């Protein structure tokens, strides 16, 4: 219980900033009789600064302006905003493998630019799904740095799961192929593949990722694959460029936002769902193996809008 509370607090840090801005602006504007241009600008600026991006910020401001014009606002701003924000996240499928065949072998491929937290997440997911009763195998397909393999091996030890590494000099595609084979032989039905960080503008690296994606596809049917993009919660606008080009190399099934505990502004969640039409699956909320929070859209919006006690 103590640990759960700790995790929730770390997660909650990521909404504190947006929550503060939202409360300040909407409390003021909701009950004001006459509003000036600068009031709308201040609201829009707050939303942009909270990482909702210009499109969503403008949309919310315009809808609120319309409401004020018609003087139709009943109730409180919290309920109004809850409805708006919740509708943006409507359809966010936070679960993994929601249509997987029962008993089938499954694979998670983690992709993303350098240093976003892929290897750490591989470890966290390995522990998380092991605790749920899955027989997990971690496959080290990052061949760029020798240390990357050792780093993943340490996570495998912490998570208590099967670990596979290729022979030195092997290419990542063949490591994945062999890793899947080894996992199958060891009856490990839940394969998590850690890949090297790659710049989203490097064509060769994207082609390599494409190849890795194809090898996974050859071994698993689509409903048993989760290609997950790892994004640093602070990436802002750049997250969209990353998603666009990495999404061309492999079909993305969702996003994990890492480093949620370090100054994330919260609004990026809405942008990812709205502009990329990708579901947010998990939040990485720290450097420890247990610092993983399944993303709950309703809890998330309520935490921003309502003054509820942190459980
Ligand atoms: N605060 C915080 N730090 C994190 C989180 N996830 C990862 N880190 C840290 O971020 C750094 C990079 O993490 P890695 O897991 O090595 O990232 P990576 O994407 O595998 O990096 P490359 O393989 O080099 O591309 C490490 O210092 C981690 O401890 C998180 O959720 N919160
Ligand atoms: Mg790594």
Mean pLDDT over 249-256 rounds to 97
Q: How far is the CA of 258 from the centre of ligand 2 (A)?
A: 13
Give the ligand 1 atom nearest the CA of 115.
21
The domain segmentation of the chain, as residue ranges, is 2-88, 106-258
Assess whether pLDDT exceeds 70 at residue 274.
yes
Q: How confident is the model at residue 263 (pLDDT cuts 50, 70, 90)?
A: confident
Q: How confident is the model at residue 5 (pLDDT cuts 50, 70, 90)?
A: low
* Residue of 258, 288, 290 with the most ligand 1 atoms within 8 Å of its CB, for mutation: 258
Topology of domain 106-258 in CATH is Rossmann fold (3.40.50)
Greatest mean pLDDT range, 49-53, 74-78, 262-266: 49-53
Q: How far is the CA of 114 from the centre of ligand 1 (A)?
A: 9
Of all residues in the chain, the percent with pLDDT exceeding 90 is 72
Mean pLDDT over 148-158 rounds to 97
Give the C-alpha separation, 126 to 191, whole Å: 9
The reported pLDDT for the residue numbered 247 is: 95
Greatest mean pLDDT range, 16-30, 54-68, 106-120: 106-120
The reported pLDDT for the residue numbered 2 is: 44
Ligand nearest to the CA of 292: 1
Neighbour-count burial of 249, counting CB atoms closer than 10 A to its CB (0-12 exposed, 13-18 middle, 19+ buried) = buried
182-199 pLDDT tens trace:
999 999 999 999 999 988
Output the CA–CA distances (angstroms, integers) from residue 96 to 137, 166, 257, in the order listed. 16, 27, 15
Give the C-alpha separation, 275 to 240, whole Å: 8
The reported pLDDT for the residue numbered 30 is: 87
Assess whether pLDDT exceeds 70 at residue 311.
no
In this structure, what token pair is assigned to residue 14?
A: 């990521």
The reported pLDDT for the residue numbered 309 is: 55
Q: How far is the CA of 117 from the centre of ligand 1 (A)?
A: 3
Give the C-alpha separation, 30 to 215, whole Å: 54
Around ligand 1, the residues with Cβ closer than 6 Å are 112, 114-120, 142, 148, 196-197, 258-259, 261-262, 284-287, 291
Asked which of 12-26, 138-152, 273-287 is least confident by mean pLDDT, the reply is 12-26
The reported pLDDT for the residue numbered 1 is: 41
The reported pLDDT for the residue numbered 8 is: 65
Q: Which residues of 275-306 are buried (b: 16+ CB within 10 A; e: fewer)?
A: ebebbbbbbbbbeebebbbebbbebbbbbbbe
**The CA-based dihedral angle spanning residues 108, 111, 116, 119, taken in that order and rounded to the nearest 10 degrees:** 50
Q: How far is the CA of 291 from the centre of ligand 1 (A)?
A: 12
268 and 44 Cβ atoms separated by less than 8 Å: no
Which has the closest alpha carbon to 47: 231, 266, 296, 212?
A: 266
275-293 pLDDT tens trace:
999 999 999 999 999 999 9
Q: How far is the CA of 295 from the centre of ligand 2 (A)?
A: 22
Q: Which residues of 135-145 are buried (b: 16+ CB within 10 A; e: fewer)?
A: bbbbbbbbbee
The reported pLDDT for the residue numbered 195 is: 97
């Amino acid at each position: 219980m103590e640990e759960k509370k700790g995790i929730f607090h770390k997660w909650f840090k990521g909404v504190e900033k947006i929550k503060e801005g939202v409360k300040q602006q909407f409390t003021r504007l909701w009950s004001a009789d006459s509003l000036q241009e600068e009031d709308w600008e201040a609201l829009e600026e707050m939303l942009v600064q909270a990482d909702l991006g210009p499109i969503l910020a403008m949309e919310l401001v315009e809808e609120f302006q319309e409401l004020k014009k018609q003087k139709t606002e009943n109730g409180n701003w919290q309920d109004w905003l809850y409805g708006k924000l919740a509708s943006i996240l409507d359809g966010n499928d936070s679960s993994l493998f929601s249509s997987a065949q029962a008993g089938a072998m499954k694979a998670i491929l983690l992709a993303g630019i350098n240093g976003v937290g892929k290897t750490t997440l591989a470890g966290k997911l390995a522990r998380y799904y092991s605790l749920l009763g899955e027989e997990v195998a971690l496959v080290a397909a990052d061949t760029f740095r020798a240390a990357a393999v050792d780093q993943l091996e340490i996570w495998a030890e912490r998570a208590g799961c099967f670990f596979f590494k290729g022979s030195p000099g092997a290419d990542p595609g063949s490591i994945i192929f062999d890793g899947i084979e080894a996992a199958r032989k060891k009856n490990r039905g839940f394969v998590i593949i850690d890949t090297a960080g790659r710049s989203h503008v490097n064509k060769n690296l994207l082609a390599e990722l494409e190849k890795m994606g194809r090898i996974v596809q050859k071994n698993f049917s689509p409903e048993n694959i989760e290609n997950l993009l790892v994004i640093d919660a602070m990436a802002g606008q750049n997250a969209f460029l990353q998603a666009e080009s990495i999404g061309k190399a492999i079909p993305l099934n969702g996003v994990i936002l890492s480093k949620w505990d370090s100054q994330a502004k919260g609004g990026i969640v809405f942008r990812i769902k709205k502009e990329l039409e990708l579901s947010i699956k998990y939040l990485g909320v720290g450097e420890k193996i247990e610092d993983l929070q399944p993303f709950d859209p309703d809890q998330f919006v309520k935490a921003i809008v309502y003054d509820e006690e942190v459980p």
